[in-house]
Chain A
Amino acid sequence: MSGLLAGTGALTRFALRRDRVLIPVYLVVLVALVVSTAVQSEGLYATPGDRADYARSIEGNPGAIALVGPAYAVDTVGGDVAWQWGGFGAVTTALISMWIVGRHTRSGEQEGRSELLRAAPVGRLAPLTAAVVVAVAVNVVLAVALGVALVAQGLETGGSFALAVSLAGVGIVFTGVAAVAAQVSQTTSGLYGLVGATVGASYLVRGVGDVGDGTLSWLSPIGWGQSMRPFAAERWWVVALMLGAAAALGAVAYRLAAARDEGAGAIAPRPGPPGAGPLLARPVGLSLRLTRGALTGWAAGLLLSGVMLGAIAQDARDILGDSEEVRELLARAGGSIVDQYLAISLLSLAQLAAAYAIQVLLRMRSEESSGRLEVLASTALDRRRWAAGYLAVAAAGTVVVVGACGLGAGVADAIVAGDASRVPLLVGSAVALVPAVWVMGGLTMALVGLVPRAAPAAWGALAGFYLLAALGPLLSLPAWVMDVSPYEHLPLLPGHDVEVVPLVVLTAVAAALAAVGVAALRRRDLQTT
């Protein structure tokens, strides 16, 4: 057996070295987000009366419970944080664990790197073991760091660590799921698909279970995490269930890994079409084909987020509470409280939707650096036309993705409010936000054209504008600083009149940035490295 594990230590150190930036960033961001929820929760509901109203509104709202999780002790800060993060946090740890396992197992195998390693005195099970060790270690560090951070924030020790351990536990279960998927699927994208589908199904099953009597939730690892009930008479024995399941999955993965060939999987790739269909007749067809996964993923994700917003919108007053800050915030926004809540939420989702546009447009860079653009550019394809294909897909895709968010919110809100006119209203409100997202796309195109190697800075701009929107008012930044963000110029819809001028100006800025990028792309050398 020891021969099968030879080299595990070296591979583990190597994996940690490869991830030495991303893993710490992930841990810091997740801990910071959870802690900031605690800070917010403390600030928003100043009086016990506010808290009680808030708790009642959630406990009595099946939509909110289905979408977020079962509500235990939501009238406490800790309980509120646990409610808000028990499900989402578990999805996060599950996906990160999947990514770590995929990256250090199937990905290396698919690209032939692990062949080189395995030809050295490295055991058959060493790559899998190293990946699992890293993923489990990341979850354990998260459990400790998050627990300590929440205690430092003044929350009760037992509940703090129960929440942290529940998130880490779900991450460890999905480490096991990913380890099995890495043996079953022959490709990394197949692995992500299998695990992603399992995460999605787990979330859905617990949603249905939580609204019912809760039995069904026991079929879902995410449901297990939430059933630890942090800050509400914690059930620590659930940890044993999660670790047991992870161990069982690990055992299955090891059996499969020990028996299979290098590079092989249980699911063989199916043969594809022997020739290209009509979609691939134009450059825009190729860009759509190469980025359609991003389109469907983002559209589905934002549709669901929209549903979640819409489902609880009519209870906005209770959810937001009645603190000084909220009143001030809403006074600035104007309109009914439900509409203001929707407008602000849609705006923050539109900021997120820029990630879709950036992802699509940065695909141009990976096409260039991989050398695939070189072959395309050696045909009668003008680089500008090639870029126009990506711009068209990103521009139209943004409308679809943001529109899906509005549609989800509209349908859910219309059902709760019993008013069908909410659907077109919210779809329209969402689509009105698109020009700001286009500006982010234009900026990405300009970066790709002008400073290709620094193009990922577009992600920095996304994060920067997000932080600006969140922190600007707190730091009382001057107006001209705030005005740098395209999102500052959007009308708050629904609840306000549509102002056409800013939308036209934003669209023009986006077009100008894109034009600069395309012109620069035509003028520069292709950079393959």
Chain B
Amino acid sequence: MLAAMAAIEVTGLIKAFGRFRALDGLDLTVEAGEVHGFLGPNGSGKSTTIRVLLGLLRKSGGEARLLGGDPWTDAVALHRRLAYVPGEVNLWPSLTGGEAIDLLGRLRGGIDPARRAALLDRFELDPTKRARTYSKGNRQKVALVAALAADVELLILDEPTSGLDPLMETVFQACIREARGEGRTVLLSSHILAEVEALCDRVTIIRAGRTVESGSLAELRHLTRTTVEVETAAPIHGLDAVHGVHDLKLDGTHATFDVDADALDGVLRHLTGFGVRALRSMPPTLEEMFLRHYGEELSEAERAA
């Protein structure tokens, strides 16, 4: 029964600051045990959603359930079962990193010393330094170690790796995979699409406070175009007339084009008539999908310029 329940269930969530609606009917479902990517451009409402889920902000409308409870009224009880890493970690300048980790761990209801030591080691963090002397990346590590060392069901991570170097990014990814292996649920808001692609089972893409896309990466790929590169024995013709083909670059027996996912079958049928010698199909990267969603305004702006 518990396992079947979604860890996070948000429907039609609204959060207004005065007249401005930061969230305008947002939907987000995170199943228990999955790593869920939460994507959107700056200012689209990712952090506001997370703050509502943490009971730091009070929703103006809609529904939000977290681990089966109400994020506002059951905040303290729910927080025993989750750990949070903010995108911008501010620490107490006079406390050392180790003190901050212990403080947060104790407030969450205890910290496993062995796990803490192992994480300090993996993230190569010196816990004896005062927070004021830490770089941004090291402050981020303090929050990550405190969160990952906690024995909790749900990790809420808001751009947790901004400021980490590629080596530490690898360590982070390994830790998240371990967390999933232990059956934890992770909500990962991130701008690093390669990270989301590497870690997430499903993603939700939002824009201007609304959900525009949600599903597994495979499902999302079906909605978009695949890039195909083909080489044939005979010169190709008639391809530009085939339904679903875009951006065709044809050079006799060599062609590169994008094709809508549902038109792939017809395109392949057409190509076999020319004797296919080599074929490479590249599914869209998350980055391409993301840019396709948000690129319209961008390309319009570029055209105007």
Contacts and interface: CB of A to CB of B under 8 A. Distances in A.
A336 interface: no
B129 A271 contact: yes
A340 interface: no
B103 A276 contact: yes
Given A374-B51, A375-B104, A276 B99 contact: yes
B33 to A, nearest CB: 21
A272 B129 contact: yes
A272 B130 contact: yes
Interface in A230-289: 269, 271-277, 280-281, 283, 286, 289
Interface centre among A275, A370, A372, A525 (most CB of B within 10 A): A275
Contacts of A189: 94
Contacts of B102: 275-276, 280
Interface string B113-149: 0000000000000111110110000000001000000
B135 to A, nearest CB: 10
A48 to B, nearest CB: 56
Interface in A499-528: 523-526
A374 B108 contact: no
A523 B58 CA distance: 8
Given A281-B106, A374-B86, A526 B51 contact: yes
Contact of B84 (A187, A275, A375): A375
Interface string B48-64: 00010011111000000
A382 interface: yes
Interface in A169-195: 186-187, 189
Given A273-B98, A274-B128, A378 B92 contact: no
Interface string B168-209: 000000000000000000000000000000000000000000
Given A525-B57, A526-B56, A276 B84 contact: no
A378 B158 CA distance: 12
Contact of B88 (A269, A280, A290, A371): A371
Interface string A364-403: 0000001110111111111000000000000000000000
Interface string B65-82: 000000000011101101
B184 to A, nearest CB: 16
A370 B91 CA distance: 9
Contacts of B164: none
A497 B109 CA distance: 50
Contact of A378 (B56, B100, B130): B56
A189 to B, nearest CB: 8
Contact of A525 (B58, B89, B90): B58
B95 interface: yes
Interface centre among B55, B103, B108, B143 (most CB of A within 10 A): B103
Interface centre among B51, B55, B95, B107 (most CB of A within 10 A): B107
Contacts of A375: 84, 86, 89-90, 104, 143
Given A110-B132, A374-B86, A380 B56 contact: no
B56 A371 contact: no
Interface of A, helix, strand, loop or mixed by DSSP: loop
B226 interface: no
A273 B95 CA distance: 9
B127 A275 contact: yes
A523 B75 CA distance: 12
A272 B96 contact: yes
Q: What band does the interface of chain A fall in when counting residues whose beta carbon is under 8 Å from B? A: 20 to 34
A380 B91 contact: no
A40 to B, nearest CB: 42
A276 B94 CA distance: 12
Contacts of B133: 186, 269
Contacts of A524: 58
A189 B131 CA distance: 14
B41 to A, nearest CB: 20
Contacts of B83: 378
Given A273-B98, A276-B102, A526-B51, A380 B108 contact: yes
A370 B90 contact: yes
A523 B72 CA distance: 9
Nearest to B79: A380
Contact of A377 (B55, B90, B128, B130): B55
B121 to A, nearest CB: 13
Contacts of B128: 271-274
A274 B98 contact: yes
Contact of B76 (A187, A381, A526): A381
B107 A380 contact: yes
B76 A382 contact: yes
Nearest to A290: B92
Given A269-B130, A273-B128, A374 B104 contact: no
Contacts of A371: 86, 88, 90
Contact of B99 (A275, A378, A380, A381): A275
A280 B106 contact: yes
A377 B80 CA distance: 11
Contacts of B91: 372
Nearest to A282: B106
Contacts of A281: 106
A527 B96 CA distance: 26
A523 to B, nearest CB: 8
Interface in A160-218: 186-187, 189
Nearest to B55: A377
A377 B95 CA distance: 18
Contacts of B82: 378
B89 A187 contact: no
A272 B94 CA distance: 9
Given A187-B132, A374-B51, A289 B95 contact: yes
Contacts of A374: 51, 54, 56, 86
B92 A274 contact: no
B58 A290 contact: no
B167 to A, nearest CB: 23
Contacts of B57: 525-526
A118 to B, nearest CB: 18
A272 B99 contact: yes
B43 to A, nearest CB: 14
B22 to A, nearest CB: 11
Given A274-B96, A280-B99, A379 B89 contact: no
Interface string A88-117: 000000000000000000000010000000
A376 B77 CA distance: 14
A374 B129 CA distance: 22
Contacts of A526: 51, 56-57
A382 B74 CA distance: 10
Nearest to B133: A269
Given A269-B132, A276-B103, A377-B75, 18 more contacts: A269-B130, A271-B129, A273-B96, A273-B99, A275-B101, A276-B95, A280-B103, A286-B103, A372-B90, A374-B51, A375-B84, A377-B54, A378-B156, A379-B104, A379-B107, A380-B76, A380-B109, A381-B107
27 contacts: A110-B132, A186-B133, A269-B132, A269-B133, A271-B96, A271-B126, A271-B128, A272-B129, A272-B130, A273-B98, A273-B99, A274-B98, A276-B98, A276-B99, A276-B101, A276-B102, A280-B99, A280-B106, A286-B103, A374-B54, A378-B54, A378-B84, A379-B79, A380-B76, A380-B108, A382-B76, A526-B57
The 6 A-B residue pairs with the shortest CB-CB distance in the complex, in nearest-first order: A276-B102, A378-B84, A272-B96, A271-B128, A379-B107, A274-B98
Interface of A: 110, 186-187, 189, 269, 271-277, 280-281, 283, 286, 289-290, 370-372, 374-382, 523-526
